[in-house]
A and B are shown apart, each in its own frame.
Chain A
């Protein structure tokens, strides 16, 4: 046997060993534009990390929660990375369902993460999920309609101003509603908006002893305001409108204002889909006169490693890549700065190219900076979370109460009846769950 043959054999053996040791990461995600883009760019990661392969599982948001929860609870180990919201992160971290992300590497600039976002994803000083993109909520409004009505949007408008402007810009003959808001029942649909509205009215879901607060004047004022506004200036069928329905209405020029997630700004200002792309202005989520709270809406889609994964090291390597500044630059180079995932890093909002390409960058950052979800309400509360309450029971409770409030918007129930039913439901559920002793 010659030396050449031996070397050739050794090389082949090494190559085979390399192939055999290649790990395949299974990543569960939702079908959002930014996620789809990440899937398209995966080849860049695998090119730099030939020992790691990536498989994607895209699921509907609620199915994803069910699937991943079942898998983690049963220790199935089917997923190495899961895409979850900042609602789940603290709950799952507490259950020890997630691994702390302590292997993101030295180059991962942790201090660059927006403080509000980082705070919501950390427990005992450890990061349990890395933010892929983040959002708060703000007002998107039609500058042309405001001008026509002789209105000027303040930087930080109050609800009193907004209600007046919504009624003035409503033109039923031209099929323009002054205000489009979520009405579709669901903890992540109408209750996201209504909870933020209630925060900005000085209200809270529970007091320090977990007693529901729907019988308090703040809730009554907030819900009455919402119902009246939708009746006078909302679109027809508002009780079945969610994010996507309002997005379409606004893009087609049928809304004077729309208050929703900041991520919508890139959709309404995109001339390809929006008829009003060049007429959109942005302002901060309103507050009630005298109440220092702008809703505290904060959401992020994050990448986390379930405790059942057997490939934690490679998984963290992928997460470090997908949530890095380098990934942002990669997206910008391929698809332009306006398409980079927003709302996670301070450096993005200091980047002139981004702020030039995204006119909504400054109001988005202002909204996110104002959303400290560790102190969501004016009065003290035993929970964290802005447009949600970060307890496991909130999904079911929020959806049940969302149905009651949606019925008010549909004209099938009154504010008083809905609040009384909400108080009774929440008291019963929280007592059963052991929060109320």
Chain B
């Protein structure tokens, strides 16, 4: 009897999980379907059956260069993630293993910077970028993406590090390990699942960031977000072409997410984000 209930509840939960997953995934699926429609089809109400045209992909390829913004997206997302980890690992170590009275306040303050609408600081950031010659440069955007994602990276790593018993680090210290060796050879290997999932999540966040990457770039450093935005048109139909551009832009990150999903889920459920 007990077994029957378990099976029934398993089925119910599986169905619920599928429905929730489908609801979350549906906009992406519909964008992919729309990319295979003609423009009049795309705007003509809801339909899951496209006519199967590849014309939009051809037009998108002909009108704009995909490779340059793609490479910019790769450089910006990987570069900003590595830079963020370089700063965040020592910061999270300090907060997790050598906390002070103000550690919680510092963590909260870091997170509070994410609560401000980005546009509120657009002009000062723009003027700083102009003065330092960082407008439309990969270096400038890498710094920007690092800074806006750093609070989340620190928070995530802090919660993973707190799961690690401090006694192990103490033991290493007693064995004569320096601070550097303690972080690199003891802490980091133990926190690999957490660091990996933070890394993957940060790549995804950086890949999808659309406000700053569009505002601070023009031609040289513009990533795929700018590529997508360029297909919106005030006069004339564009939904199908926009969907094709979006599909091309999200495909690499979707594939990365697909292959790393085990790592991502394990990392996310292993740490504090439970």
CA A254 – CA B57 in complex, angstroms?
29
CA A188 – CA B229 in complex, angstroms?
19
Question: Which of chain B's residues has its CB closest to A85's CB?
Answer: B234
In the A-B complex, the 5 residue pairs with the smallest Cβ-Cβ separation, listed nearest first, are A58-B230, A60-B232, A31-B233, A55-B219, A61-B234
A366 within 8 A of B: no
Residue among A55, A59, A67, A248 making CB contact with B237, cutoff 8 Å: A248
CA A204 – CA B141 in complex, angstroms?
47
A75 within 8 A of B: yes
- Cβ B123 vs Cβ A78 within 8 A: no
Residue among B122, B126, B230, B235 making CB contact with A243, cutoff 8 Å: B235
Residues on B with C-beta less than 8 A from A61 are 232, 234
Residues on B with C-beta less than 8 A from A252 are 40, 44
A433 within 8 A of B: no
A26 within 8 A of B: yes
- Cβ B130 vs Cβ A244 within 8 A: no
Residues on A with C-beta less than 8 A from B222 are 57
Residue among A26, A261, A264, A273 making CB contact with B218, cutoff 8 Å: A26
B63 within 8 A of A: yes
Once A244-B237, A261-B235 are accepted as A-B contacts, the answer to whether A74 and B127 lie under 8 Å apart by CB is: yes
B32 within 8 A of A: no
B238 within 8 A of A: yes
Residue among B214, B237, B238 making CB contact with A63, cutoff 8 Å: B214
B231 within 8 A of A: yes
CA A264 – CA B234 in complex, angstroms?
12
**Most B-side CB within 10 Å, residue of A30, A31, A55:** A31
Residue among A31, A74, A78, A247 making CB contact with B232, cutoff 8 Å: A31
CB-defined interface of A27-47 with B at 8 Å, one 1/0 digit per residue? 010111100100100000000
Residues on B with C-beta less than 8 A from A188 are 234
Number of interface residues of A (CB under 8 A): 40
Once A32-B234, A79-B218, A247-B237 are accepted as A-B contacts, the answer to whether A74 and B123 lie under 8 Å apart by CB is: yes
CB-defined interface of B72-109 with A at 8 Å, one 1/0 digit per residue? 00000000000000000000000000000000000000
B23 within 8 A of A: no
**Most A-side CB within 10 Å, residue of B44, B135, B231, B234:** B234
Residue among A60, A73, A263 making CB contact with B123, cutoff 8 Å: A73
A369 within 8 A of B: no
Residues on A with C-beta less than 8 A from B266 are none
Question: Which of chain A's residues has its CB closest to B234's CB?
Answer: A61
A267 within 8 A of B: yes
Question: How far, in Å, is A331 (CB) from chain B's closest CB?
Answer: 17
Residues on A with C-beta less than 8 A from B232 are 31, 60-61
Q: Is the interface of B mostly helix, strand, loop or mixed?
A: loop
Residue among B44, B226, B233 making CB contact with A32, cutoff 8 Å: B233
CB-defined interface of A97-134 with B at 8 Å, one 1/0 digit per residue? 00000000000000000000000000000000000000
- Cβ B214 vs Cβ A36 within 8 A: no
A245 within 8 A of B: yes
- Cβ B236 vs Cβ A67 within 8 A: no
Once A57-B218, A248-B40, A248-B43 are accepted as A-B contacts, the answer to whether A75 and B235 lie under 8 Å apart by CB is: no
A251 within 8 A of B: yes
A70 within 8 A of B: yes
- Cβ A31 vs Cβ B135 within 8 A: no
CA A73 – CA B127 in complex, angstroms?
10
CA A78 – CA B217 in complex, angstroms?
9
B260 within 8 A of A: no
- Cβ A59 vs Cβ B214 within 8 A: yes
A76 within 8 A of B: yes
Once A60-B229, A63-B214, A78-B135 are accepted as A-B contacts, the answer to whether A251 and B234 lie under 8 Å apart by CB is: no
Residues on A with C-beta less than 8 A from B39 are 273
Residue among B218, B231, B233, B234 making CB contact with A78, cutoff 8 Å: B218
Task: List 20 A-B pairs, Cβ < 8 Å.
Answer: A26-B218, A28-B218, A30-B234, A32-B235, A32-B236, A55-B219, A57-B219, A58-B64, A61-B234, A70-B122, A71-B126, A74-B130, A75-B130, A78-B218, A243-B235, A248-B43, A248-B237, A252-B40, A252-B44, A261-B235
Question: Which of chain A's residues has its CB closest to B127's CB?
Answer: A74
Question: Which of chain A's residues has its CB closest to B241's CB?
Answer: A31
Question: How far, in Å, is A335 (CB) from chain B's closest CB?
Answer: 15
- Cβ B40 vs Cβ A33 within 8 A: no
CA A147 – CA B238 in complex, angstroms?
34
Residues on B with C-beta less than 8 A from A36 are 63
Residues on B with C-beta less than 8 A from A60 are 229-230, 232
- Cβ B215 vs Cβ A70 within 8 A: yes
- Cβ B238 vs Cβ A31 within 8 A: yes
Residues on B with C-beta less than 8 A from A73 are 123
Question: How far, in Å, is A97 (CB) from chain B's closest CB?
Answer: 15
